[in-house]
Chain A
Amino acid sequence: AQSVTQLGSHVSVSEGALVLLRCNYSSSVPPYLFWYVQYPNQGLQLLLKYTTGATLVKGINGFEAEFKKSETSFHLTKPSAHMSDAAEYFCAVSDGPGNQFYFGTGTSLTVIP
Chain B
Amino acid sequence: NAGVTQTPKFQVLKTGQSMTLQCAQDMNHEYMSWYRQDPGMGLRLIHYSVGAGITDQGEVPNGYNVSRSTTEDFPLRLLSAAPSQTSVYFCASRGTGTNQPQHFGDGTRLSIL
Residues of B within 8 A of A52 (CB): 99
Residues of A within 8 A of B99 (CB): 32, 49, 51-52, 94
Whether A90 and B50, one on each chain, are in contact in the complex, defined by CB atoms closer than 8 angstroms, is no
Whether A99 and B50, one on each chain, are in contact in the complex, defined by CB atoms closer than 8 angstroms, is yes
Residue of B nearest to A32 (CB): B99
Residues of B within 8 A of A94 (CB): 98-99
Whether B31 and A43, one on each chain, are in contact in the complex, defined by CB atoms closer than 8 angstroms, is no
Residue among B40, B42, B50 making CB contact with A103, cutoff 8 Å? B42
Task: Give the CA-CA distance A42 to B106 in the complex, in Å.
Answer: 5
Residue among A43, A92, A106 making CB contact with B107, cutoff 8 Å? A43
Q: Which bracket fits the contact residues of B? A: 20 to 34
Residue among A42, A43, A99, A100 making CB contact with B49, cutoff 8 Å? A99
Smallest CB–CB gap between A32 and chain B, Å? 5
Whether B101 and A103, one on each chain, are in contact in the complex, defined by CB atoms closer than 8 angstroms, is no
Given A34-B101, A43-B105, A49-B101: A99 touches B42 (CB 8 Å cut-off): no
Residue of B nearest to A101 (CB): B102
Residue of B nearest to A91 (CB): B42
Smallest CB–CB gap between B32 and chain A, Å? 8
Q: Which bracket fits the contact residues of A? A: 20 to 34
Question: Which residues of B are at the interface with A, using a C-beta cutoff of 8 A?
Answer: 4, 31-33, 35, 40-45, 48-50, 56, 58, 90, 92, 94, 98-99, 101-107
Q: A49-B101, A105-B42 are in contact. List 6 more A-B contacts (CB 8 A).
A: A42-B107, A43-B107, A52-B99, A99-B31, A100-B48, A105-B41
Q: List 14 A-B contacts (CB under 8 A).
A: A32-B98, A34-B101, A43-B90, A44-B43, A44-B92, A44-B102, A51-B99, A90-B42, A94-B98, A94-B99, A96-B98, A99-B48, A105-B42, A106-B42
